[in-house]
Amino acid sequence: MTEFLLNICHLDAYYGKSHILQGIDLQVRSGELVVVVGRNGMGKTTLLRSVLGLSPVQRRGEIVFNGLETVKKLTHEIASMGVGYVPQGRLLFPSLTVDEHMQFVCRNKKKESRWTPEEVYNLFPELRQRARVNGGRLSGGEQQMLAIGRALVTNPLLLMMDEPSEGLAQIVIKRVEQVCRHLVSEGMAILLVEQNLEMAQGLADRAFIFYNGRIAYEAPGDTFRREREKVGSFLGI
Amino acid sequence: MSLILLMSILNGLTLAALLFITASGLTLSFSLMRVVNLTHGAFYLAGGFVGLSVLKATESWIIAGLAGGLCMAALALFEERFLLRWARGNDLIETLVSLSIAIIIGDLILVIWGGYPKTIAIPQALGGAIKIPIINLPYPLYRIFMLGLAIVIIGGLWLFLKKTNFGITIRAGVDNFQMVSALGINVRRLFTSVFGLSGFLAGMAGVIGGTFMMLGIGEDWRILTLTLIVIIVGGMGSLGGTIVGALITGLIYSFATAFIPEFSLFVLFLPVAIILSIRPQGLFGKEV
């Protein structure tokens, strides 16, 4: 069981009475980039929220992270185990500066680690010039970089990204792709939810397609890249 | 300028100082946890009475102020940890819990300290009046001390929120506390501490306020009302908004009681009604 960093078994997730995710089985290994694609409202975001136990999602089933069962744990406990989260829409803190976004996360942790604000600035030099600017005043691309940086300074083992390409120019999307590749090459696991099929196909080590809260398709990255028609049919392309 | 006008301005400013100290705690807990803590007025009054008793025993006004604050911080910690935490997310229950505790504290005050209004003696060093330069008007030294204290607290809170890690975490939590917990930070502990801090400020304000106004049954609800007005006018979660809200409320209340006492409540609630209809998030609040 421990060969998987994240092992989701028979996961059901609910928003109140609506049954969103139905019997999801999904695994992520260390250093692997797993992509989840699907049309709007198929439960992709709910999957990420379920892993972290963010309310109001109710979970039933098994979510084992790094060898430990997490369904009964609280969000901050799961995040501290090494789950980083880059939410859809970035959800930056408008009243905090770029620097504060990373400092307060960092300073709440004691140990020295790979990702410090300095390292994030090296990864995204444009953020360094904006260090004293409030999160809400950044451009879309800068916001996404900060959202990634904020998650990185928690030094996660698994980085969950929810539609990082949303609303970004092509050139910025390429940057995000490069960063993903770089992180995976360092051994980080990434669980990427995307609507941008090109980006998803470019990055996937393994891919899942969600349809109405179930897994409709699962394949290794190469097959996912090859089976364009089959993939397209699920996505309505 | 006529004497009564000047006095109204000064009285308005000192009332604003007291309201700021009371409201700053409430606005922090309100904006972070979205709980309208109706116990805040009771914390103020009980803190004042605790201070009164401690002053009698120790004859130190400073110890009395700290004791009032610390006792209410402890009470607030208890309320958050053991009662409000179980009702989190259910606005109605949260409000009812805080209302119930306010009523219980009010009754306990009646049992312990009796129903007669009391006042805390002004510390000797701050007794008497001094002449304010330029306008050449004698004014109680204690009220000027209060203004100074409020400014010190404003500065302290500002530094705390801007410069300390805990303060930055609170600001992030006000923006989006779920996201803060998704970064691995224990939001529950953050809530409890901020609630305690809020209780401390209310209890200390009770001792400060009880020294120039009376402490008595009903004062808890009067202060709560004024404090809520401050927050509604200024906008929740904004320190600057709380300062402006306290100034507006303090000055209006002071002028209204001096010039049109029969309409004072009407004049006080007028800006609330106007602001709620034009800018529901308050003058400096963020849109939710």
Model confidence over B79-112: pLDDT tens digits?
A: 999 999 888 878 899 999 999 999 999 999 999 9
Task: Tell me the average pLDDT across B148-152.
Answer: 93
**Mean pLDDT of all residues in B114-143:** 87
Give the minimum alpha-carbon distance from A10 to chain B in angstroms, rounded to a whole number.
Answer: 23
A189 to chain B, minimum CA–CA distance in Å? 17
Nearest to A91 among B174, B176, B286 (CB): B176
> What pLDDT is recorded for position B157?
93
pLDDT digits (tens, 9 = 90+) for A191-216: 999 999 999 999 999 999 999 999 99
Mean pLDDT of chain B: 91
Please check whether residue B175 touches A, CB under 8 A: yes
| A16 in reach of chain B (CB within 8 A) | no
Residue partners of B176: CB distance under 8 A and separation at least 6: A91, A93
**How far is CA B14 from each of CA A60, A181, B9, B198, rounded to the nearest angstrom?**
56, 61, 9, 20
Instruction: Tell me the shortest Cα–Cα distance from A163 to chain B, in angstroms.
Output: 16
Q: Which of A57-61, A129-133, B130-134, B176-180 is the least confident region?
A: B130-134
The answer to whether residues B55 and B38 touch, using CB atoms and an 8 Å cutoff, is no
Beta strands in B33-183 (DSSP E): 129-132, 137-140
Please list every residue in chain B whose beta carbon sits closer than 8 Å to the beta carbon of residue A107.
Answer: 165
Domains and CATH numbers, chain B: 3-278 (1.10.3470)
Q: If you measure CA to CA, which chain B residue comes closest to A103?
A: B165
Does residue B141 have a pLDDT over 70?
A: yes
How would residue B280 be classed by pLDDT, with cut points 50, 70 and 90? Answer: confident
Nearest-CA distance from A213 to chain B in Å? 23
Interface check for B90 against chain A (CB to CB < 8 A): the answer is no
| pLDDT 10s digits, A14-38 | 998 899 999 999 999 999 999 999 9
CA A188 to chain centre: 12
| Residues above pLDDT 90, as percent of chain B | 71
Domain positions in chain A are 6-235
- Taken as a whole, chain A contains a residue count of 237
How large is the average pLDDT for residues B230-244?
A: 88
pLDDT over threshold 80, residue B228: yes
- Between A234 and B179, residue with greater pLDDT: B179
Cβ of A95 within 8 Å of Cβ of B171? The answer is yes
The verdict on ipTM greater than 0.90 is yes
Cβ-contact B204, B66 below 8 angstroms: yes
Q: B181 and chain A: CB distance < 8 Å anywhere? A: yes
Q: Which of A55, A65, A73, A75 to mutate to test the interface with B (most CBs of B within 10 A)?
A: A75
CB contact under 8 A, A104 and B165: yes
Q: Are the C-beta atoms of residues B283 and B233 closer than 8 Å to each other?
A: yes
Kindly state which CATH superfamily the domain A6-235 is placed in.
Answer: P-loop containing nucleotide triphosphate hydrolases (3.40.50.300)
Q: What is the mean pLDDT of residues B185-203?
A: 94
pLDDT band at B287, cuts 50/70/90? low
Distance from CA of B174 to the nearest CA of A (A): 9
Q: What is the pLDDT of residue A110?
A: 58
Task: Give the Cα separation of A44 and A210 in Å (integer).
Answer: 7
Q: Are B47 and B200 in contact (CB under 8 A)?
A: no
Each residue's pLDDT tens digit in chain A (237 positions)? Answer: 458 999 999 999 999 889 999 999 999 999 999 999 999 889 999 999 999 999 889 999 999 999 999 999 999 999 999 999 999 999 999 989 999 999 988 866 656 688 999 999 999 999 999 999 998 889 999 999 999 999 999 999 999 999 999 989 999 999 999 999 999 999 999 999 999 999 999 999 999 999 999 999 999 999 999 998 899 988 877
The amino acid sitting at A94 is P
Nearest CA in chain B to A79: B184
- Chain A CB within 8 Å of residue B2 CB: no
Least confident range of A72-86, B24-38, B206-220, B241-255: B24-38
Q: What are the start-end ranges of the H helices in chain B?
A: 3-33, 40-58, 61-78, 91-113, 141-163, 165-182, 187-210, 219-234, 239-259, 264-278
Q: What is the pLDDT of residue A108?
A: 60
Q: Find chain B residues with C-beta within 8 A of A87's C-beta.
A: 179, 182
**Residues contacting residue A124 through CB under 8 Å, at least 6 positions apart:** A142, A145, A146, A148, A149
Residue written as tokens 């939810």? A193
For residue B72, what are the contacts with CB-CB under 8 A and spacing of at least 6?
A: B43, B46, B47, B50, B199, B200, B202, B203, B204, B206
Asked if A96's CB is within 8 angstroms of B175's CB, the reply is yes
Please say if the pLDDT value at position B160 is more than 70. Answer: yes
